[in-house]
Amino acid sequence: MWRTRFEWDDAKHKKNLRDRGFGFDQAARIFSGHVVEWLDDRFTYGEDRICALGMVDGRLYCIVYTMRGDTIRIISARLATRREQSLWP
């Protein structure tokens, strides 16, 4: 069985958990259901960054991540904005 691997910066994970009450380990759960994605091309990051919307525990979250080989590296996680909510089917 194929399994998705996740990684993140532990300091960013702890800060996100403290500031937003939502850790990157929880953020990874959006990938177990329907996800809406688009490329974040607002800036030159030196890597492709993907924004993903998905549900966790009945709430819509926006996750930014990049692929490192076959591993999803989570960069940020937060509740979806109103504009992002309008993109959710």
Domain span including residue 54: 5-85
In this structure, what CATH number is given to the domain that contains residue 30?
A: 3.10.450.530
For residue 1, the model assigns a pLDDT of 40
Residuewise pLDDT in 10s, the chain (89 residues): 456 899 999 999 999 999 999 999 999 999 999 999 999 988 888 999 999 999 999 999 999 999 999 999 999 999 999 999 999 99
For residue 41, the model assigns a pLDDT of 86
Rounded alpha-carbon distances, angstroms, from residue 43 to 46, 47, 85? 9, 10, 22
Q: How many residues does the chain have?
A: 89
For residue 82, the model assigns a pLDDT of 97
How many domains does the chain fold into? 1
